[in-house]
Copies of this chain bind each other. A is one copy, B any other.
Amino acid sequence: MKERKPTSFDIAYRAGVSQATVSRALSDSPLVNEETRRRVKDIARELNYKVDKNARNLRSQKTKTIALLLNEDHGTGDSLINPFFLSMVASIIRASANRNYDLLVSFQQFSDDWHADYEDANRADGIIFLGYGDYTTYVKKLTHLDEQDAHYITWGPVLPGQPGVSIGCDNFNGARKAVEHLLTLGHKRIAFVGGISDGSPEFKRRYEGYSEALRAAGIEVDPALQMDAETSEDAGYQAALVLRERGAAFDAVLGASDLIAIGVMKALEEAGVHIPNDVAVMGFDDIPISAYTYPPLSTVQQNTRQAGELLVENLLKLMEGEKVESFLIPADLVIRGSCGGRPLSQH
């Protein structure tokens, strides 16, 4: 019971073959006789033998493992992870499991330390980056990785000059479609709540899509209708309060994320504004919560399932030396009750 873990030598001894043959037999090498293979495998199973991954990885210099590095936007050790991120994580876990790759998950919270960043490089064959703290240091990191030609892929927007391959959501067209839908419903004064000045390229793209849709409809983009907010319910709530204080009239709001939109809805409701009759609200992300709010939040869906698949699939391609292009996943509208396009009770 307390005996040491069996090694390939133990099997070799019992099977009366060399250790190398054991290794070959277990990895289904065509070089080994069928009968021998069976015997070796039987003994292996009997001894409950399992190859030592460290030894294998060391020798073969492959790990069959990918690392997922989460970069929290805010260093709030206490807060929960953004639900959208969680969906992504789940999807990536599943996608890599499907491909028989192990997944090493970790936070990138101590990223000031140059060292720790690449620790994982030796533990995994490739890296998926989810989120970035400060965008510029993020790019610096990626550049560095590029120089050592590491294999990695990122989730998020692709800005000119950003190295590497990225899978992202079509933020621009997603937001554009959302605004077009609001316009179709007859809204003219549409506010945008989400920070566009700080380092978040996604929100900026969404704002551009928002602006584009307005301009295309001949409506001037009014800066007074834009409020900065980071992606949290509270930020959305506060932003909505300020927006109302400003006195700028608006009949619809596009939140740069669902959490923001939910905060906005809460603030408006508390102020006696009816959604969607007085003000229509749409979000962005389609986090699980959004289907259950009251009214259910209309939003722009980021397909996390597809995203996870693509991230893993393309990372594996990169690891095999294939050329891979960055790709934007189209964003589809999910119309629920909060924009008045559908009955309230649906989700």
* Residue ranges of A at the interface with B (Cβ–Cβ < 8 Å): 1-2, 5, 45, 48, 50-55, 57-58, 63, 65, 70, 77, 80-81, 83, 86-87, 89-90, 93-94, 96-97, 102-107, 109, 114-115, 118-119, 121-123, 147-149, 262, 269-270, 288-289, 292-294, 345
Contact = CB atoms under 8 A, between A and B. Distances in A.
B107 A292 contact: no
6 contacts: A54-B58, A54-B122, A93-B105, A94-B107, A102-B123, A288-B289
A50 B80 CA distance: 31
Given A65-B104, A93-B105, 11 more contacts: A1-B147, A1-B149, A45-B115, A48-B148, A55-B58, A58-B58, A77-B94, A86-B86, A89-B93, A270-B345, A294-B294
A288 B83 contact: yes
Contacts of A105: 93, 103-105
B102 A102 contact: no
A289 B86 CA distance: 13
A224 B50 CA distance: 51
Nearest to A119: B50
Question: Closest 9 interchain pairs by CB?
Answer: A294-B294, A54-B58, A54-B57, A97-B107, A53-B123, A292-B293, A81-B90, A54-B54, A53-B122
Contacts of A77: 94
A103 B54 CA distance: 16
Count copies of this chain in the complex.
2
A80 B70 contact: no
B50 A54 contact: no
A115 B50 contact: yes
A344 B60 CA distance: 61
Contacts of A50: 115, 118-119, 121-122
Contacts of A70: 93
B53 A119 contact: yes
Contacts of A148: 1, 5, 48
A54 B48 contact: no
A192 B106 CA distance: 39
A85 to B, nearest CB: 9
Nearest to A147: B1
A2 B321 CA distance: 14
A115 B77 CA distance: 38
A218 B135 CA distance: 63
Nearest to A60: B54
A121 B87 CA distance: 27
A70 B93 CA distance: 10
A206 B96 CA distance: 35
Among A55, A109, A122, the most chain B Cβ lie within 10 Å of the Cβ of A122
B54 A262 contact: no
A298 to B, nearest CB: 15
Contacts of A107: 93-94, 97
A77 to B, nearest CB: 8
Contacts of A106: 93, 96-97, 102-103
A294 B5 CA distance: 55
Contacts of A102: 104, 106, 123
A122 B294 contact: no
A68 to B, nearest CB: 8
